[in-house]
Amino acid sequence: MSRVGSAAGVVVPAGPTHARQSQAWAGSAQAPVLEAARLALARDLQLAFRKRGQLVQPLAFFAMVTMLFPLAISPELSRLREIAPGVLWAGALLASLLALEFLFRDDAYDGTLEQYALSGQSLTWLMFAKTAAH
Amino acid sequence: MHDERLDVEDLHLWRGDHHVLRGVCFALCAGECLQVTGPNGSGKTSLLRTVCGLMYPEEGRVLWEGRDVRGDLRTFHCALTYLGHEPPLKAELSARENLRYWIGVRYRVGAAALEGALERVGASPWCDRLVRTLSAGQRRRVALAGLTLSMVPLWLLDEPTTNLDTEGQQLVGSLIAEQLARGGMVVAAVHHELPATVRDLRRLELAA
């Protein structure tokens, strides 16, 4: 993975400047991609817990939808039992839509996505980590 | 050709009907710094973003070590660090956490190196405060700490001295000088001259 390091390490005529260069660039070994993805995941989770509002809002919405349904339709138990799975899933879907907005917006604004794109790491893994945190 | 070398050939970039970059050419060898100047809106940021591959030019090529970077963007990205005019920091994380996540995604960085970088930019006293509570200059210093950890041949810096006090601007100067001394390259888009500590300075003036 340490492309930079190895590219500089290939230098054959090890003159004084070359030796100095390869040493300098070797100091920054590219992190393994899974480690990078782990950090991206940890970062997003930590951010989510710092921003309580964004974390609580979809959950509160989900609770409200599920509570309002019996009030709106009928308190009859057999009927509720029938529609419960549908309500839960639809409620969860809508709640995750609420949080979807925050998934990439902040990162796009402050340039984090750019840094990911330029990190030389696999974007697939980084984005997988982000969506997993979501 | 193993020596690091950046060639930009005849870049043309359009944004809508505005011809932003009109045939920009330059070549940069190891140990050289290019200072890009020009009025607001003359395309300094666009030039940096085009060079690092975030924007695609309508015409022209960017060559790294003599090869078109579009053939192998990944190798090129591993060799560069781009610092935009907004530091990529999260307001809800502390300076130290920001640095750890931001740099950790790219490199293996030990805790000691992280502390050293924060110390270097004078961030040690306040590196555990949330970035939300930091001033613009302090944020810029955190971004510079990230730069000191980026041991890559090519630095692309957009307004590196903005919001910094005199001492901070000198710091940018010495960071660039160190990068050049170890055989690196720097392209910096600036409004004010870079500090005099930067030697081997080449200039590119973009017209409005």
pLDDT tens for residues A116-133? 888 777 777 777 777 777
Residue A27: what pLDDT?
52
User: By CA distance, what is A23's nearest residue in B?
Assistant: B182
Gap from A132 CA to chain B (nearest CA, Å)? 16
Look at residue A6 and tell me whether its pLDDT is greater than 80.
no
CB contact under 8 A, B92 and A29: no
Interval B38-55 mean pLDDT: 91
pLDDT band at A14; cut points 50, 70, 90: very low
Residue B2: what pLDDT?
53
Look at residue B180 and tell me whether its pLDDT is greater than 50.
yes
Residue B56: how many other CB atoms lie within 10 Å: 9
Gap from A57 CA to chain B (nearest CA, Å)? 18
Say yes or no: A117 contacts chain B, CB-CB below 8 A: yes
d(CA B52, CA A61): 42
pLDDT above 90 coverage of chain B, percent? 63
Look at residue A4 and tell me whether its pLDDT is greater than 70.
no
CA dihedral A102, A107, A113, A115 (to 10 degrees): -160
Say yes or no: A19 contacts chain B, CB-CB below 8 A: no
Interval A27-46 mean pLDDT: 81
Beta bridge partners of residue B18, listed in sequence order: B15
Query: Residue A20: which of B75, B77, B182 has the nearest Cβ?
Result: B182
Interval A21-42 mean pLDDT: 72
- Answer whether B48's CB lies under 8 Å from B156's CB: yes
| Cα torsion angle, A129, A108, B114, A20, sign | positive
Say yes or no: A22 contacts chain B, CB-CB below 8 A: no
Query: Residue B79: which of A4, A43, A111 has the nearest Cβ?
Result: A4
Interval B148-166 mean pLDDT: 91
d(CA B78, CA B137): 28
Query: Residue B151: which of A7, A24, A35 has the nearest Cβ?
Result: A24
Say yes or no: A36 contacts chain B, CB-CB below 8 A: yes
What Å distances lie between residue A32 and A66, B17, B165, CA to CA?
43, 42, 37
Look at residue B128 and tell me whether its pLDDT is greater than 90.
yes
SS (H, E, C) chain A: CCHHHHHHHCCCCCCHHHHHHHHHHHCCCECCHHHHHHHHHHHHHHHHHHCHHHHHHHHHHHHHHHHHHHHHCCCCHHHHHHHHHHHHHHHHHHHHHHHHHHHHHHHHHHCHHHHHHCCCCCHHHHHHHHHHHC
CB contact under 8 A, A120 and B86: no
- Whether this model's ipTM surpasses 0.90 comes out as no
List residues of chain B with CB under 8 Å from any CB of chain A: 2, 4, 30, 52-54, 74-75, 77-82, 84, 86-90, 92-93, 97, 100-102, 104-108, 149-153, 182-184
- Answer whether B155's CB lies under 8 Å from B147's CB: yes
| Chosen from A43, A49, A102, A122 to mutate, greatest number of chain B CBs within 10 A | A43
pLDDT band at A20; cut points 50, 70, 90: very low
Residue A50: how many other CB atoms lie within 10 Å: 17
Residue among B189, B183, B124, B119 nearest B149 (CA) = B119
Look at residue B175 and tell me whether its pLDDT is greater than 90.
yes
**A5-14, A31-40, B64-73 — most confident range:** B64-73
Look at residue A17 and tell me whether its pLDDT is greater than 70.
no
d(CA B19, CA B112): 47
Residue A121: what pLDDT?
76
Per CB-CB distance under 8 Å, the chain A contacts of B77 are 117-120
Residue A76: what pLDDT?
82
Interval B76-92 mean pLDDT: 89
Look at residue B187 and tell me whether its pLDDT is greater than 90.
yes
Say yes or no: A123 contacts chain B, CB-CB below 8 A: no
